[in-house]
Amino acid sequence: MADFSNYLSPGRRGHLIGIGGVSMSSLAEVLKGMGIVVTGSDNNDSANVKALREKGIPVAIGHQAENIGDDVEFVVRTAAVHDDNPEIQWARWQGIPVFERTEAWGAISQGYHNALCIAGTHGKTTTTSMCTHILMAADRDPTVMIGGTLPLLNAGHRVGNGNTIVMEACEYYNSFLSFHPTVAVILNIEADHLDFFKDLEDVKRSFRMFAGRVPPDGCVVANRDDENTMRTLSDLNRKVVTFGMSPKADVYAENVRTIGASSKFDIYYKGRFFTDVVLHVPGLHNVKNALAATAAAICLGIRPNAVKYGLAGFNGAGRRFEFKGKFNGADVYDDYAHHPSELAALLDAVEQLNYKRTVLVFQPHTYTRTAALFENFVTQLKRPDVLLLAEIFAAREQNTIGISSAALAGRIEGSRFFPTFSQLEKELRQIAHPGDIILTVGAGDVYKIGENLVKDAK
């Protein structure tokens, strides 16, 4: 079996299928920065595709065998590209090795002295972004791979010259088991991606294997407040640094104060004051994310001032409580929350902001998740003052279950289901009032609704 690390040298030639995705476009730039000649293809033109072309990476729109040149030595595909893809079939016919995206990132991470990988059911993008801010403040010149856009980078990635790489590590399809972390962060563990995992115990086994990939001289950062995480890591033969909201954790917060959408708190490490922090994103969940990032920084030997100023400069990542603008006096925000626990954290944060009404526009993500966690979704979706439901975003799935957002609406008094975005947007235009917060929420394309409102308001 081919080893991707054998192709990580200047002058090698590779082709990336699905190159327009967040992680794949980042991978393309990292490979090009290493002196590898990169081409790619994608089903759709996009801002990422345009940016790649501007950087000298040819991208074909549409998948066909001719996109793979005679000099291509390897192919990397995104998870959405299956074996029946004509480029995959051609590559295999020609004997060209085909690698998964995570195999490529895993091989790249082995070239760094420090590989910081952030995993968990929730909070990965935000915590990876916080770690990036801290590493930049510490002048570590990191290479970065985030599953979202970070304003500091104006991208979801960065090619650095330092000896540290920081990467968001997703558990879906056991992707993170291709990584080689020297510091592994586990933020939390819950039942999710149940179209792949059998149950919660299966999820926990996967996270245990991820933690076990840390070398004996490495470090695992774990959420002391999360029972699933601590049980998963029990008796792990690795150094474990915990974080949490009580002194039972190694890294913990004291004197937490909420001031509008910001938080102020002191961070302690093993009972001693480490630094004070002002965090400009709302919610207790973000305080916990900051503690996780701090614990990771401690494992990397980063000084307190870099943590303090790195976190102070963090104002959120793309689609993570992202302010989009105003419409008819209402504030419009977008958030990626697509799991009941993420909805709970988001609504907890919003309730502290003293808006007159919370108007939630929710687009569930995948049929299997909606069905498996249906009652939990109902519990959280009853909380906002106004709930407007879009149809489920299918993503990678077919609706073999026969479920619809209409089923959620049927369980939540006063909610309304809209089969199309245009109908939902029309309703929003009629009900939006000054003093409201309008939240477009979900991992699909629901953000477009809020963007349309704000665009028309200008």
3-state SS class at 378: helix
Q: How many CB atoms lie within 10 A of CB 223?
A: 26
Radius of gyration of the chain (CA): 22
Answer whether 253's CB lies under 8 Å from 267's CB: yes
Give the side-chain half-sphere CA count within 13 A for 280.
13
168 is catalytic: yes
Give the side-chain half-sphere CA count within 13 A for 178.
22
Q: Give me the amino acid identity at 86.
A: P
Catalytic residue among 29, 87, 103, 168: 168
Sign of the alpha-carbon torsion through 204, 205, 207, 208: positive
Residue 146 backbone phi and psi in degrees, to 5: -120, 145
Q: Is 375 exposed, middle or buried (0-12, 13-18, 19+ CB in 10 A)?
A: exposed
In angstroms, the Cα distances linking 455 to 100, 324, 326, 361, 448 are 38, 9, 9, 18, 10
Catalytic residue among 39, 125, 164, 232: 125
Answer whether 130's CB lies under 8 Å from 289's CB: yes
**DSSP 8-state assignment for residue 443:** S
Answer whether 311's CB lies under 8 Å from 279's CB: yes
Answer whether 343's CB lies under 8 Å from 321's CB: no
Catalytic residue among 124, 204, 308, 324: 124
| Spatial strand order in the sheet of 436-441 | 322-327, 330-335, 436-441, 357-362, 386-390, 416-418
Length of the chain equals 458
- Give me the active site residues, please: 124-125, 168
